[in-house]
């Protein structure tokens, strides 16, 4: 497909779910698309926790952006950091990623910003050092190293109290990610690693799931929250609802007023919008909520700037907040592309409407909960639905094939093939003993 030099220029910031769907929807249109991301791959974020627990390898949930668009000449991929926006000149200011040079700026006719979100530590950024999260591939690998190193440290520890601290794992936040990773840690300790060590019984591992709300999975109906809690407890997870974390340090977690010796903490509570949202809000005057999300128009554009779309976790609509899940970002990405195409043909586009396809969360082996159009499922049927949906949306045939093989082998053998403690920049990160 040949696109003329005078083609409409669309710059998309972010190669996550929203940005990727926008680019895919525009790849056959008479537009010139530039996709900018500081990573050279699209990450299937719903499965990063499986990398963190050794169930999958990094390459199985990530796919190179250039490979996705290699046969689409109207889509160009740029590896760069987005430093700023000039809405008056219609330019995106870029910075280099490491030693890779980047253009100083990119001009656009339409801008689509899908900057995503990051975990919020509720004003306690000092906790970040001790409580890693699994939102990025890099942080998932840090969590994997910390989890596996904790078992190694417990094996070498002779003091009973210090060994117990190494074998205590605290997950903060009981949304889908928190529930899923707590269940995976329990299976890792009580099933996969059983018998691997000589001095320590990994079945003595203590997993605490802490949630400030009165139940887990608050986006699900209460009946499914109860099912999830029972499944977690069956795996050996202690669920602490209505409890708040008030302190985290290198050796312990404070839950309300109780200090719990624990050397490994995983953070899965609360999100805040990308800093790009804040910058767009400053430039456009768009309202922002407490989580930093900017309020966009019904067609997902910035107030006063119909040429700029903001989508995904970093935005909210005037009539309410949508859930921060992949389907929302994907539908918004496709909608923004549709508006671009309609404008070229001078066609009106109705306001964005999210079509909720339901919620899914897995707890462990053949255990999950599903809320799909009022149909509430639990157990094996929900787990098979979860497997099917995640394989369907995973990018790349090779990745789908590898993941289904990996899951099938793991299901049959109770094993995990990616239990590697990788060296992180900074020396002693993996063990931190």
Single residue among 210, 241, 269 that ends a domain in this structure: 269
Domain hosting 226: range is 125-269
Residues 6+ apart with CB under 8 A from 347: none
Which CATH number goes with the domain that contains 143? Answer: 3.50.50.100
Is there a single domain that holds both residue 285 and residue 207?
Answer: no
In a domain, 93, yes or no: yes
Residues 154 and 246 in one domain: yes
Looking at the predicted structure, is the pLDDT value of residue 429 above 70? Answer: no
Q: Name the residue with tokens 């990610």.
A: 177
What is the mean predicted confidence (pLDDT) over 16-40?
96
222 occurs within a structural domain: yes
Asked whether residue 173 falls in the same domain as residue 243, the answer is yes
Same domain, residue pair 173 and 219: yes
Stretch 278-298: mean pLDDT:
94
CB-based contact 10:110 (threshold 8 Å) = yes
Percentage of the chain beyond pLDDT 90 is 87
Tens of pLDDT, residue by residue over 246-285, are: 999 999 999 999 999 999 999 999 889 999 999 999 999 9
**Confidence tier at 417 by pLDDT (50, 70, 90):** confident
Q: How does residue 423 score in pLDDT terms, banded at 50, 70 and 90?
A: low
Could you tell me the pLDDT band of residue 374, with boundaries at 50, 70 and 90? confident
* Residues 141 and 31 placed together within one structural domain of the fold: no
In a domain, 304, yes or no: yes
pLDDT at 321: 81
Residues 195 and 265 grouped into a single domain? yes
Q: What is the distance between the alpha carbons of residues 398 and 389, in angstroms, rounded to a whole number?
A: 16
Start-end of H helices in 61-203 = 65-68, 137-156, 160-166, 176-187
What pLDDT is recorded for position 5? 55
- The reported pLDDT for the residue numbered 427 is 44
Taking the CA atoms of the chain, what radius of gyration do you get in angstroms?
A: 22
Which domain CATH number covers 84? 3.50.50.60
Find the mean pLDDT for residues 169-179.
96
**Does one domain contain both 154 and 258?**
yes
Residue 364 counted as domain residue: no
Report yes or no: 79 and 102 within 8 Å, Cβ to Cβ.
yes
Q: Report which of 287, 273, 290 is spatially closest to residue 317, judged by C-alpha positions.
A: 287
- Contact residues for 354 (Cβ-Cβ < 8 A; gap 6+): 322, 327, 328, 331, 332
Give the pLDDT confidence of 202-211 residue by residue, as tens digits.
999 999 999 9
Q: How far apart are CA 3 and CA 8, in angstroms?
A: 9
When mean pLDDT is compared across 3-17, 221-235, 242-256, 363-377, the lowest value belongs to 3-17
Residue 347, pLDDT > 70, answer: yes
Say which range, 208-222, 275-289, 415-429, has the weakest mean pLDDT: 415-429
- pLDDT category at 324 given cuts 50, 70, 90 is confident
Closest CA to 119 of 292, 364, 352, 235: 292
Please count the structural domains in the chain: 2
Q: Is residue 207 situated within a structural domain? A: yes
Q: Do both 294 and 170 map to the same domain?
A: no
| Cβ neighbours, 10 Å, residue 407 | 16
Residue where a domain terminates, one of 269, 288, 309 = 269
Residues 214 and 241 in one domain: yes
The reply to whether 194 falls in a domain is yes
- What are 287's two structure tokens? 């309202």
Tell me, yes or no, whether 276 lies in a domain. Answer: yes
Same domain for 107 and 135, yes or no, is: no
User: Which are the catalytic amino acids?
Assistant: 180
- Point out the domain boundary residue: 293, 324, 344: 344
| Per-residue confidence (pLDDT) for residue 6, from 0 to 100 | 76
For residues 252 and 330, membership in a common domain is answered with no
Instruction: Write the Ramachandran bin of 315: left for phi over 0, alpha for psi from -120 to 50, otherwise beta.
Output: beta
pLDDT for position 19: 98
In this model, does residue 1 exceed pLDDT 60? Answer: no
| 249, 138: one domain | yes
pLDDT in tens, 112-169: 999 999 999 998 999 999 999 999 999 999 999 999 999 999 999 999 999 999 999 9
Whether 68 is covered by a domain: the verdict is: no
Q: What average pLDDT does the structure give for the chain?
A: 93
Whose structure tokens read 């993941």?
403
Instruction: Give the residue-averaged pLDDT of 312-324.
Output: 89
């Amino acid at each position: 497909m040949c696109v003329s030099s005078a083609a409409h220029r669309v710059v998309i910031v972010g190669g996550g779910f929203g940005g990727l769907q926008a680019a895919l929807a525009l790849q056959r249109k008479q537009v010139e698309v530039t996709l900018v991301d500081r990573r050279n791959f699209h990450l299937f974020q719903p499965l990063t926790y499986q990398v963190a627990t050794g169930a999958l390898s990094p390459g199985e949930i990530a796919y190179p952006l250039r490979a996705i668009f290699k046969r689409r000449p109207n889509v160009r991929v740029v590896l760069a950091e987005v430093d700023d926006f000039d809405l008056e000149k219609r330019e995106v200011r870029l910075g280099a990623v490491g030693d890779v040079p980047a253009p100083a700026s990119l001009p656009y006719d339409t801008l689509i910003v899908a900057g995503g979100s990051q975990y919020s530590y509720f004003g306690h950024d000092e906790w970040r050092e001790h409580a890693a999260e699994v939102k990025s591939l890099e942080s998932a690998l840090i969590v994997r190293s910390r989890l596996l190193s904790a078992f190694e440290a417990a094996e070498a520890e002779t003091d009973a109290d210090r060994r117990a601290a190494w074998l205590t794992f605290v997950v903060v936040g009981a949304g889908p990610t928190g529930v899923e990773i707590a269940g995976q840690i329990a299976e890792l300790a009580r099933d996969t690693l059983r018998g691997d060590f000589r001095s320590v019984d990994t079945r003595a591992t203590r997993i605490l799931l802490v949630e400030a709300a009165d139940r887990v999975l608050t986006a699900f109906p209460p009946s499914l929250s109860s099912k999830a809690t029972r499944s977690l407890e069956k795996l050996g997870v202690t669920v602490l609802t209505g409890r708040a974390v008030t302190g985290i340090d290198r050796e312990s977690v404070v839950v309300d007023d109780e200090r719990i010796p624990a050397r490994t903490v995983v953070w899965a509570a609360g999100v805040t919008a990308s800093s790009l949202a804040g910058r767009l809000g400053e430039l456009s005057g768009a309202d922002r909520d407490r989580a930093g999300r900017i309020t966009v128009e019904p067609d997902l554009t910035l107030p006063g700037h119909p040429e700029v779309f903001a989508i995904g976790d970093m935005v909210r609509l005037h009539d309410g907040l949508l859930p921060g899940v992949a389907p929302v970002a994907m539908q918004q990405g496709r909608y923004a592309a549709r508006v671009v195409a309609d404008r070229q043909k001078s066609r009106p586009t109705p306001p964005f409407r999210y079509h909720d396809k339901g919620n899914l969360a897995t707890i462990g082996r053949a255990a999950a909960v599903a809320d799909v159009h009022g149909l509430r499922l639990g157990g094996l049927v929900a787990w098979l639905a979860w497997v099917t949906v995640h394989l369907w949306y995973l990018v790349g045939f090779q990745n789908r094939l590898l993941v289904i093989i990996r899951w099938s082998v793991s299901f049959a053998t109770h094993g995990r093939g990616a239990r590697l403690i990788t060296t992180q920049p900074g020396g002693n990160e993996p063990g931190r003993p």
